[in-house]
Amino acid sequence: MKKLLAVVLAVVIAAGWYVSLFGAGSIAPLKDQIKLGLDMVGGVSVLMEAETDLTGEELKSTMNQTQLVIENRVNEMGLSEPVVTIEGENRIRVELPGAGDADSAIQMIGDTAQLQFITADGAVVLTGNNVKNASAAPYAGNEAFLLGTYTIDLEFDSEGAGVFEEATRKVMAGEIVSTTQYERRQIAIILDGKELSAPVVNSVIAGGKCQITGNYGSAEASNIAALIRGGALPVTLHEVETQNVGPSLGMEAAKISVVAGAVGVALIMLIMVLAYRGMGFTADIALLLYVLLVLWIIVALKGVLTLPGIAGIILSVGMAVDANVIIFARIKEENENGKSLRVSVDAGFKRAMGTIMDSQITTIIAALVLYQMGTGSVKGFALTLMIGIVASIFTAVAITQLYLRLFAESRMFGRQPQLFGLKAKEVK
């Protein structure tokens, strides 16, 4: 099983690097998937403050709604990776990589969102101003196929209740003739020209309350409800600070930095082999997997790579190598005490684990504090550092140990400790 697992891992690592460099089928290479931040490509950074007297949980909820609406809007601008974050209690920072016109960006962000309820003939029957509340809740009806799903519950103000009742009465009476892509009984909910939902009207809805059912999960229903609630921007925002950010590194310099990083990793791998021979070779296998894991996790999390983020990756690479060095030092100590290669490997890993976990956990705690307390680029540094630490623990403990034990137990290498940088001597 160890041999089979080792072969499978080797194939996965080789295939992973091929896909990362050249792509495969619908999977683009890493260079086309990793999104770059403002300091790499330039753009516009806008800090806006909410004009509100709300405090506590009400303020927090309102800012979360505002953030969601702004994210929905700027994502439609077609930029590489807009970032919308809440700073402090009542401020929102919007970073738009690739944007060149600060004035247009500010206007796009600050404009009131247009939330509309539209019938199949294209008529706008309600706007976001008529929505009193929207929330998600588990489905509590009797339809078996809807059990386990979530509903979106809407409540309108007095004016909206009357208008909506009249609109649904016309829909059920067959007075609506479809001139759009929607069926005659549908009422579409549109935010900034984008469809949020297009439910079918099953009865005349009176009383100002209605419920949208469908195959909604908890996250999707909550997201749609929040967008409907904040469709008209729950607070007024005013500009505090605007910056046209030039790329501090630049695309050409970024490419050079990638090459320099690759050369640096290659040199580390060479030094590990020269210093520790066979043990260094197993560490190099783990390091190749480590780099793959870190980069693809960043892509999977839709992270934005910034200069501080690159610094976090470089620091975590050093910590990954350091973990292997600690393990190898313990193995050498065991070997110098006269133990065989196999016994030295087992004892070395056991002795090194405490030291490695102490140092890595301490660093994770520091990174968590930075992520919670920091903003913008500081969070980017903390996130890449945490990803790197978790990946380094996995590769050092699991992958290096797998290959090193496999070699130590083999007839070909297990009787030649000098191939692993250890002394050849009579063993106990």
SS (H, E, C) the chain: CHHHHHHHHHHHHHHHHHHHHHCECCECCHHHHCEECHHHHCEEEEEEEEECCCCHHHHHHHHHHHHHHHHHHHHHHCCCCCEEEEECCCEEEEEEECCCCHHHHHHHHHCCCCEEEEECCCCEEEEHHHEEEEEEEECCCCCHHHCCCEEEEEEECHHHHHHHHHHHHHHHCCCCCCCCCCCCCEEEEEECCEEEECCECCCCCCCCEEEEEEEECHHHHHHHHHHHHCCCCCCEEEEEEEEEECCCCCHHHHHHHHHHHHHHHHHHHHHHHHHHCHHHHHHHHHHHHHHHHHHHHHHHCCCEECHHHHHHHHHHHHHHHHHHHHHHHHHHHHHHCCCCHHHHHHHHHHHHHHHHHHHHHHHHHHHHHHHHHCCCHHHHHHHHHHHHHHHHHHHHHHHHHHHHHHHHHCCCCCCCHHHHCCCCCCCC
Crossing angle (nearest 10°) for helices 278-300 and 2-22: 50
Closest CA to 292 of 25, 31, 17, 21: 17
H or E element, residue 304: strand 304-305
pLDDT at 289: 92
pLDDT at 131: 87
pLDDT, tens digit only, all 428 positions of the chain: 778 888 899 999 999 999 988 888 888 888 888 877 777 777 788 888 888 888 888 888 888 878 877 776 666 554 445 678 888 888 988 887 766 666 666 666 655 557 889 999 999 999 887 888 888 999 988 888 888 899 999 999 999 999 999 999 999 999 999 999 999 999 999 987 788 899 999 999 999 999 999 889 998 888 788 778 765 566 778 888 887 777 766 666 667 777 877 888 888 889 888 888 888 888 899 999 998 998 899 888 877 777 787 888 888 888 888 888 888 888 888 878 878 778 888 888 888 888 888 888 898 999 899 888 776 667 778 888 898 888 988 888 888 888 888 887 777 665 666 766 666 554 44
Mapped onto helix, strand or coil, the DSSP state of residue 64 is helix
Q: Calculate the CA dihedral of residues 333, 335, 339, 344 and round it to 10 degrees.
A: 80
Closest CA to 82 of 112, 109, 51, 61: 109
Fold exhibited by the domain 115-229: Gyrase A; domain 2 (3.30.1360)
According to CATH, where is 3.30.1360.200 located in the chain?
115-229
pLDDT at 153: 94
According to CATH, where is 1.20.1640.10 located in the chain?
2-36+249-420
* Residue 194: count of CB within 10 angstroms of its CB: 12
pLDDT at 183: 93
pLDDT at 426: 42
pLDDT at 427: 40
User: Is 331:279 a contact under the CB 8 Å cutoff?
Assistant: yes
H or E element, residue 94: strand 91-97
pLDDT at 73: 62
Q: Calculate the CA dihedral of residues 91, 95, 96, 99 and round it to 10 degrees.
A: 90
For residue 119, the cross-strand partners are 187
CATH number for the domain running over 2-36+249-420: 1.20.1640.10
CATH number for the domain running over 43-112+236-245: 3.30.70.3400
